[in-house]
Amino acid sequence: MESIKRYKEAAFWAVLFMAFAMVPLLRASSYEIMLASHILVWGLFAVSFNMLWGGTGMLSFGQALYYGLGAYAVGMTFKYWGDAWFLPSIVLGIVCSVVLSILIGLLIIRVSGVFFTVMTLAFGQLAWQITFRWYGVTGGDDGIQGVIPPGILGDRIFYYYFTLVVVALSILVLKRISGSPMGLTLRCVRQNPDRVRFLGQSVKRNQLTIYMISSAFTALAGGLMAGVDNSIHPNMLYWTTSGEVILMSVLGGIGQFFGPFIGAGVLIVLEDMVGARTEYWPLIVGTIMMVMVLLFPKGLVGEVRKLVDRFRSRAPARG
């Protein structure tokens, strides 16, 4: 049974990958390609965010900090050193994120629950304030415009495939981590931290590691986004960005590994269809979040699974 489940999941990912790979071949406009890139990048952001929250119960409200760090690493090297630095600066953003997440992580993993959330929020807002105000270095609220990747990466379709491959590989790696002994330990931490401690595992060290991993992949998503949008701005670090990725996770299902990816797709398509036509998009976002929390806490993927299970249990048992 376990292996069948694994094959099914692999098949699901393969189909999803192929579907995204087909997008440019279907005579999609450059706008539609950009939309698909947004789904991929936010999908990576949401899946790595959910590793932290869904996997371990650490609800961070400040992941936009690392998303912005990844984007600004690309934007600032571009502004000061030129476009040859595009690819190295994505790696640079990840390295900076790892260092910063360890420093911040050491401070904030000492507390849990609501306090953890409040502190992540505070660090995120601190980073936003600095980015927003430090005109001389970050460009302040003008952000940095015209960030075009060098050479063949500057081609929109090529960059799309580059994004697709990087995101797919990252999600594979995250999946492996989630299924590793460490991932298992962390799920146990969420359910019963004391027992994990009695079994000789360091709860805090595991939490710090997963915080670091999640932040690193979030920075990668930010770096990729700089090339998709060709511009960066301080709002990437604002707390509503963190809120958006939280909503994607709730929408898809926090208990599911790939749920947030679906959530990202649904929210981005919805924002494209509805958000562009109304100035009250936050009202819609807030209402969706309220409905999900109150009525569908397992998220879309979780609720569909529940339906499927109910249907199966009614059908005559097979084998």
* Positions in the binding site for another protein (CB under 8 A): 53, 57, 59, 61, 107-108, 110-115, 117-119, 121-123, 125-126, 129-130, 133, 239, 243, 246, 250, 280, 282-283, 285-287, 289-290, 293-294, 297
Please report how close the Cβ of residue 59 comes to another protein at its closest, in angstroms. 5
| Residue closest to 288 by CA, chosen among 249, 235, 236 | 249
Least distance in Å: CB of 296 to another protein? 12
Structure tokens at 99: 């260092």
- Minimum CB distance to another protein smaller for 100 or for 164: 100
How far, in Å, CA of 152 to CA of 74, rounded? 17
Q: Which segments of 180-258 does DSSP mark as H helices, in order?
A: 181-191, 193-198, 203-229, 239-252
**At its nearest, how many Å lie between another protein and the CB of residue 240?**
8
User: Is the CB of residue 71 less than 8 Å from the CB of residue 197?
Assistant: no
Minimum separation from the CB atom of position 33 to another protein (A): 30
**Nearest distance in Å: CB 280, another protein:** 5
Amino acid at 14: A
Task: Rank residues 81 and 280 by Cβ distance to another protein and give the closer one.
Answer: 280
* Count of beta carbons in the 10 Å neighbourhood of residue 291: 11
Looking at beta carbons only, is 25 or 295 nearer to another protein?
A: 295
Residue at token pair 């398509």: 269
One-letter amino acid at 170 equals S
CB 62, min distance to another protein, A? 12
SS3 content of the chain, % helix, strand, coil (to 5): 80, 0, 15
Token look-up 């797919």 returns: 168
Nearer to another protein, 49 or 162 (CB): 49
Nearer to another protein, 168 or 237 (CB): 237
Nearer to another protein, 130 or 157 (CB): 130
- C-alpha closest to that of 106 among 20, 175, 216, 205: 205
Find, among 231, 298, 226, 236, the residue nearest to 262 by Cα.
298
Cβ at position 50, least distance to another protein in Å: 12
d(CA 74, CA 93): 7
Please state, as a whole number, how many other Cβ atoms lie within 10 Å of the Cβ of residue 310.
9
For residues 11 and 107, which CB has a smaller minimum distance to another protein in the complex?
107
Show the tokens assigned to 233. 């701005």
Position of tokens 């819609």? 284
Per the rule left: phi > 0, alpha: psi between -120 and 50, beta: everything else, 180 is beta
Nearer to another protein, 53 or 78 (CB): 53
Minimum distance from CB of 35 to another protein (Å)?
A: 23
